[in-house]
Chain A
Amino acid sequence: MTLFGTGVLKGLIVTLKNFATSYFRKPDNGGIFTVQYPEERAKEIESFRNFPFLVYDGTPEKIRCVACGICERECPPKCIHIVMETEAGTGKPAKRPAVFEIDYGLCMNCGMCEDVCPFDSIYMDHAFEVTASDRTQELVRPKETLLKSNDYFLKIRPGTATPVDQKRRAAEEKKKTAQAAATPPKTNP
């Protein structure tokens, strides 16, 4: 039979121990485990996903998105809005988005758009400090704020971006060789 009151004392010892260890132990070992946010930051994990962003190569004009609208259709909460650009003279579709908006107020960070995009153009971002003072206007992010360079993508998610780059480069080279193979007959009749 244990003495009445020992359980209470045991609890007191546990809290006293934690009080003491908070001064000298490491965070994962009974030390202080909170992160002093604005000064310190939690370790950034590569696969972390927040809101989506659009990738461009080199300059913002060379946007990968062709405004196919698959992400718009598959987005579960329907937070993406795309309007395709038309060529100035002909009025034909230009395979570029004229309007690409994501409503951050609706987006639920599921990553579906990233999964379904066939042109490797939309990916989930690491930026989480996205605030707005107005929920109807400012949270709807236009194309300009969504566009981010491929270098940024390589920086935040090298594990995903590098294979994508390799794949794209290989496809481009294949296209070039195909073109090269296709063009000679024209020059040598």
Chain B
Amino acid sequence: MKEIEFFVDLIFVNAKGWCLDLLGHFLPDWTVVLVSIIISAVVIMVLGPLVMMYLTLLERKVIGRIQNRYGPNRVGKWGLLQPIADGIKMFTKEDIVPAQADKIIHFLAPVIIVIPALMVFLVVPFGERMTAVNLNIGLLYFIAVSSITTIPIFMGSWASRNKYSLLGGMRTAAQMISYEVPMTLSVVPVIMMSQSLSTNTIVMTQAGDMDLHWFVFTPWGLVGFVIFFLCAVAECNRPPFDLPEAESELVAGFHTEYSGMKFALFYMAEYMNAFTLCGIATTLFLGGWQGPLFPSWLWFFGKTFLLICVMIWFRGTFPRFRVDQLMGFAWKFLLPLTLINIPVAALWFFVPEQLAWIYSVPILAVSLWGLVKLNRSFVPEKRIYPLAD
């Protein structure tokens, strides 16, 4: 029984091992290492776009259902070939570059934006022993690389020479930089608890009995998770924080002047970022691939897709923030909360668990309440309307 579980758990790792063994018989050792790297790279290169393609389908299906309609169901069974049709359409579309645009930068922006989106996949632990590169500064690497995304977006918006794009780009720069601060700070308790920046070690420390010792089940973990997730939503420009592309205001924001495959690359980067951010949120707070009964990679993908579904659910429900409210939310609400969360987590480390529950829940609840009170300008007022004759 145990063997079968172990076998299923490591099926992908073993498959790669067998391939390498096979090649090892008639190839020199150094090429085997090279092939190992290439296999990992190819898997990621395929996984990224594949995930993006089917995320678009999932999103359209789920939002369709939320809105009481079917969503795409014409191409293939249940519309399963729809992403491929979309891809063909994107490839065959005319590539339009505005006459006044800065042509080189306009071209470079969509190319560059995909690179960090793919690079982030390196440190995501997809399952037990399924991290492409087990960096000991994995989390730092993730935060550093994912923040590059701001630059190509701004490049694209500036080079387009379009005022809508420019506004979108300005919003991106402001928004992504502001949300990185609470996002990074919300991760600090996790680093303190696991005493490591390696994503693998972070997952390992969440094992416990039944593999359910996830950080999200602690007060500071829950607060950290909610903040991290909200920041992740903002970071990949998804509703209700989709100001950079705000369709109803800025037409399409930073990618107004992009068409065809260049537009698709922006889109691809956005969805891959959404996937990796959800993956990292899973890793940090939801125990990564830890979980009873099922194989580790199933747990990881299950949790990640659950988070993505929540993102899609948000998109199907919420209107958008305004730019000043968005910044206010990050600086006046999320940031103080993360700053309170760090000492709470620090104390948790030294105090026995029962006692820690007793003090940390009230502290966080009171600070939450206090922050809502302090941000009174954001709190909506109740109104009663007179009915005249």
Contact = CB atoms under 8 A, between A and B. Distances in A.
A and B touching (Cβ–Cβ under 8 A)? yes
Contact of B66 (A2, A8, A18, A33): A18
A22 B317 contact: no
B318 A11 contact: yes
Given A14-B317, A15-B313, A33-B69, 18 more contacts: A4-B379, A7-B380, A12-B314, A12-B317, A15-B66, A15-B316, A15-B317, A16-B66, A16-B313, A18-B65, A18-B66, A19-B66, A22-B68, A22-B69, A23-B65, A32-B68, A33-B68, A34-B70
Contact of B65 (A4, A8, A22, A36): A22
A1 to B, nearest CB: 8
B32 interface: no
B68 A36 contact: no
B207 interface: no
A30 B68 contact: yes
Interface in A1-49: 2, 4, 7-8, 11-12, 14-16, 18-19, 21-23, 30-34, 36
Interface string B315-355: 01110000000000000000000000000000000000000
Nearest to B73: A36
A18 B318 contact: no
Report the 10 A-B pairs with minimum CB-CB distance, sorted nearest first. A15-B317, A34-B69, A22-B65, A4-B372, A19-B66, A15-B66, A19-B65, A11-B317, A22-B68, A15-B316
Interface of A is mostly: helix
Interface residues of B, number: 16
Contacts of B316: 15, 19
Interface of B: 62, 65-70, 313-314, 316-318, 372, 379-380, 382
Contacts of A12: 313-314, 317
Contacts of B372: 4
Contacts of B380: 7
A2 to B, nearest CB: 8
A14 B65 CA distance: 12
Nearest to A4: B372
A19 B320 CA distance: 21
A64 to B, nearest CB: 44
Contacts of A4: 372, 379
Contacts of B313: 12, 15-16, 19
